[in-house]
């Protein structure tokens, strides 16, 4: 996975600046993310009582995971456990290995000793996760292994409560992976990528963004949730359906 050896802020920008080039506003946002990420507590070089490094979860080829970051990119999960001080939500992250068409669930939680230690330096510390900077369901390395896979977001729970999906998700490929954005403000509804597709078919004819298909009714978006539903949270769970694997 190409995110593993870069910083949290750089990883976030690499994921977010897709389909369209980053503007000066986006670059400024990136600098803010870097400053925010630098404030995270350094992970311990020695074992810490109450923190089990084996609880950190690594998504590998063919695994789906919930990539997510808070509003300031202070905490996040990008499918990686190796650099857990920048992936504090890797502890007890719920991933799903995609074995074919069907229903799957991915999740993250801030209610772990590892998360509390990496964010506060104390397994009993309190760190409130606030807002939403980015979220997507991503299948690692799927562009080559399962290029026809289509992810359809069905349900999202924040701290056990179902939240409204204000738009419909679409699937596209990026950096070798297949993804469905949940919240990506770097991709507007006017800049949906040419290879975008849904379970009903392609959003554009012949990958031409000037030729929307008949199913492209304006209801698809890279921002299918409201930030208001993520004002403060500990647990996020996303249920989705994978289709197209039999093609």
For 121-164, write each residue's pLDDT tens digit: 999 999 999 999 999 999 999 999 999 999 999 999 999 999 99
List all residues 6 or more positions away from 227 whose beta carbon is below 8 Å from its beta carbon. Answer: 71, 131, 132, 183
Distance, in Å, from the CA atom of 192 to the CA atom of 133, rounded to the nearest integer, reads 19
pLDDT at 46: 65
Quickly state the pLDDT bin for 29 (edges 50, 70, 90): very low
pLDDT, residue 19, reads: 34
What is the rounded distance in angstroms from the CA atom of residue 227 to the CA atom of residue 71?
9
pLDDT tens-digit readout, 210-228: 999 999 999 999 999 999 9
- Answer yes or no: pTM beyond 0.85: no
φ, ψ (nearest 5 deg) of residue 109? -140, 140
Strand partners, 108: 236
Give the pLDDT confidence score for residue 48 in this predicted structure.
86
C-alpha distance across the termini of the chain, in Å: 25
Between the CA of residue 5 and those of 9, 10, 160, what are the distances in Å?
A: 12, 10, 33
On the question of pLDDT at 14 being above 80, the answer is no
Tokens of 168: 């419909």
CA pair distance 139, 64, nearest whole angstrom: 4
Q: What is the pLDDT of residue 6?
A: 30
Q: What is the pLDDT of residue 92?
A: 97
Q: Rounded mean pLDDT of 72-91? A: 89
The DSSP secondary structure of 163-190, one letter per residue, reads: ----SB--BEEETTEEEEEEE-TTS-TT
Query: What mean pLDDT value characterizes the chain?
Result: 85
pLDDT tens digits, one per residue of 44-54 = 446 788 898 88
Buried b (16+ CB within 10 A) or exposed e, 25-59: eeeebbeebbebbeebbebeeeebeebeeebbbbb
């Amino acid at each position: 996975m190409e995110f593993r050896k870069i910083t949290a802020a750089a990883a976030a920008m690499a994921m977010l600046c897709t389909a369209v080039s980053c503007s000066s506003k986006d670059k400024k946002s990136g600098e803010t993310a870097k400053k925010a990420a630098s404030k995270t507590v350094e992970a311990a070089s020695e074992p810490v009582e109450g923190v089990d490094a084996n609880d950190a979860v690594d998504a590998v080829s063919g695994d789906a995971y919930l990539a997510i970051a808070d509003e300031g990119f202070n905490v996040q999960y990008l499918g990686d456990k190796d650099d857990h001080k920048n992936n504090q939500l890797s502890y007890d992250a719920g991933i799903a290995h995609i074995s074919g068409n069907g229903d799957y669930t991915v999740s993250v939680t801030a209610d772990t000793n590892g998360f509390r230690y990496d964010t506060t330096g104390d397994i009993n510390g309190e760190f409130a996760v606030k807002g939403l900077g980015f979220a997507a369901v991503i299948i690692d390395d799927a562009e080559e292994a399962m290029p026809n896979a289509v992810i359809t977001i069905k349900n999202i729970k924040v701290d056990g409560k179902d939240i409204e999906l204000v738009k419909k998700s679409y699937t596209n490929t990026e950096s070798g992976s297949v993804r469905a954005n949940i919240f990506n403000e770097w991709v507007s509804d006017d800049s949906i990528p040419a290879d975008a597709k849904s379970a009903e078919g392609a959003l554009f004819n012949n990958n031409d963004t000037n030729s929307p298909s008949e199913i492209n009714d304006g209801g698809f978006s890279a921002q299918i949730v409201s930030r208001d539903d993520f004002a403060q949270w500990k647990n996020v769970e996303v249920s989705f359906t994978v289709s197209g694997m039999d093609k």
